[in-house]
Amino acid sequence: MPLNKEQNDEVEQLRASSNTTLRATVPSLEEILYKPLPALDHGFVRVIDYMGDDTAIVQSARVSYGKGTKKISNDKGLIKYLMRHWHSTPFEMCEIKLHVKLPIFIARQWIRHRTANVNEYSARYSILDKEFYIPSVENLASQSQINKQGRAENLSPEEAKKVIELLKSDAEQTYRNYEVMLNENSDGETLDESSMGIARELARMNLTLNTYTQWYWKIDLNNLLHFLALRADAHAQYEIRVYADIILDIVKKWVPVTYEAFEDYRVGGTQLSAKEILILKKIIKGETVDPDAEGISKREWGELQKKFDL
């Protein structure tokens, strides 16, 4: 259930209303405003509000009076220049506020990006929904022996089935105990009239990390792009990457020129160290390169070879 009844009613009410404004709006983003975009099995991302567009970035860079001060082609060229040369403050002029529903273990990874304003659903005051993230079979894998933070080969169907059964039974059992400790279920019904139940702030400690939480997350475009460069990367954990990909599509609708520059210079580009540049210069000149003599580690050499298919 992506949205509960109260949230769904709120969405319908908000989308049924309209306001006249003189500020910049983006039609393609207005189309999805407040709508939940599904993520994983019970999660979603939805745009609550935003400020600015591609023009706002250009305006702040030029400190101009408004649209039309330069040609569109010049605006595009300026945004590409800003992105290419890592000028950050013009992109900070745009902000977006998202409502995100996600598993707690992904939320704890996500919150490491300390560049946003966050307000999370409080299990001190409210009862968390009985919803848990259960991975699909194809997303269950063994621990990588090379990367301590990554996955290796997928589990066999039999192993995956066992893991899924364990995840389901553990989550359901702990949630049952959660309700017993509260003496209340998620619908607000009392379970035992003779029992008081412990405080919600204490009962929540029993829940599994695949339980879903929700938050409002407001961030400027510059920091959002940094978040996406890391979390939409192929090396990022699958579950958080699902959310990053959804947000990437939102950015594409919101600031298409900036999105194009981001894809070109950040996602599709690469960074080089001083030693890597020297090695590439030698390769271009046709000189033989000895990684040890160049003072580059085997891992760095392997990464350089991968970058340029050497």
Question: What strands lie across the sheet with 43-51, from one edge to the other?
Answer: 37-39, 43-51, 95-103, 212-220, 117-120
* Cα–Cα dist 96/135, whole Å: 29
Kindly state the tokens that stand for 32. 């999805």
Catalytic residue among 23, 231, 241, 266: 231
DSSP 211: B
> Cα torsion for 298, 300, 304, 309, to the nearest 10°?
40
Q: What is the CA radius of gyration of the chain?
A: 24
Neighbours of 240 (CB within 10 A): 21
Backbone angles phi, psi at 185, to 5 degrees: -105, 180
* Cα–Cα dist 84/64, whole Å: 21
Backbone angles phi, psi at 217, to 5 degrees: -130, 110
* Cα–Cα dist 291/278, whole Å: 11
Contact status, residue 196 vs residue 202, Cβ threshold 8 Å: no
Neighbours of 50 (CB within 10 A): 22
* Cα 16 → chain centroid: 28
DSSP 40: T
- Let me know how long the chain is: 310
The upper half-sphere exposure of residue 180, i.e. CA atoms within 13 Å in the direction of its Cβ, equals 8
Q: Is 23 a catalytic residue?
A: no
* Cα 109 → chain centroid: 10
Instruction: Point out the residues that are catalytic.
Output: 231
